[in-house]
């Protein structure tokens, strides 16, 4: 976690967003977005961790920043579950760090793009039952949810913002929608928004993120 990028707010921090990047990216990927969001969330700290560099099977074993290995693309993505669990442990440790700084779990939002989104969904709804201000799942899927998602009342109370591009060819819309549907079936208050974009983040999406975050942390 020494490589974690921490963006302190202009006011004393009373909330935190822990935001995980996607496969092959780095901790600086969402720095411009985080700095923009801090203009409307002047008391929110943004924590941007760095994924470890490790082999990714579907990319020919090439070494790159990844939260877990993807072993196969079809019929459903096969992943290294131990690595996914390890990444969730990293997120939980970052939450512990925020607790030590005076930020309660209820003032923390977990966010992630693509593979990073899969990690935060796993952390919040599979790995550990902790109260959160919310989860943002951007252009992502939920490889660890399974057919049934048994949740605690604490987990059911976590609001989720699911955002996806209708033209996404990397994580297709149906994979994101399946995660959203599973959350709704499990009793979670989840919101679905889609945009005419590919595997990316666009201005309209950032505006929606800002409004959603402000309603929960502002």
Report the alpha-carbon distance of residue 87 to residue 108 in Å, rounded: 17
| pLDDT computed for residue 148 by the predictor | 78
| pLDDT computed for residue 1 by the predictor | 46
| pLDDT computed for residue 212 by the predictor | 98
| pLDDT computed for residue 20 by the predictor | 98
| pLDDT computed for residue 146 by the predictor | 84
Query: How many Cβ atoms are within 10 Å of 203's Cβ, its own excluded?
Result: 9
Query: CB of 84 within 8 A of CB of 119?
Result: yes
Using alpha carbons, select from 171, 208, 181 the residue that is nearest to residue 22.
171
| pLDDT computed for residue 55 by the predictor | 94
| pLDDT computed for residue 94 by the predictor | 98
| pLDDT computed for residue 185 by the predictor | 94
Report the alpha-carbon distance of residue 135 to residue 104 in Å, rounded: 15
| pLDDT computed for residue 100 by the predictor | 98
Q: Which residues of the chain have pLDDT under 70?
A: 1-2, 74-76
Question: Which CATH architecture is the domain 5-51+81-217 placed in?
Answer: 3-Layer(aba) Sandwich (3.40)
| pLDDT computed for residue 17 by the predictor | 98
What dihedral do alpha carbons 182, 187, 188, 193 form, nearest 10°? 60
The residues spanned by each domain of the chain are 5-51+81-217
pTM metric for this prediction: 0.96
State the catalytic residues.
114, 168, 199
């Amino acid at each position: 976690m020494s490589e974690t990028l921490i963006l302190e707010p202009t006011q004393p921090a009373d909330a935190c967003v822990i935001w995980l990047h996607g496969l092959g990216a780095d901790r600086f990927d969402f720095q411009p977005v985080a700095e923009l969001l801090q203009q409307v969330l002047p008391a929110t700290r943004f924590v941007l961790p760095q994924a470890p560099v490790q082999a990714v099977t579907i990319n020919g074993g090439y070494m790159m920043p990844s939260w877990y290995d993807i072993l196969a693309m079809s019929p459903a993505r096969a992943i290294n579950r131990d690595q996914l669990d390890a990444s969730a442990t990293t997120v939980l440790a970052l939450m512990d760090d925020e607790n030590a700084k005076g930020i309660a779990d209820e003032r923390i939002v977990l966010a992630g793009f693509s593979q990073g989104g899969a990690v935060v969904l796993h952390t919040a709804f599979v790995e550990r039952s902790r109260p959160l201000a919310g989860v943002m799942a951007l252009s992502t899927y939920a490889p660890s949810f399974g057919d049934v998602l048994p949740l605690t009342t604490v987990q059911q109370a976590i609001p989720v913002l699911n955002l996806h591009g209708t033209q996404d060819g990397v994580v297709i819309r149906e994979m994101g929608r399946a995660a959203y549907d599973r959350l709704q079936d499990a009793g979670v208050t989840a919101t679905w928004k889609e945009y005419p974009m590919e595997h990316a983040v666009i201005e309209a999406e950032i505006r929606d993120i800002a409004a959603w975050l402000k309603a929960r942390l502002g």
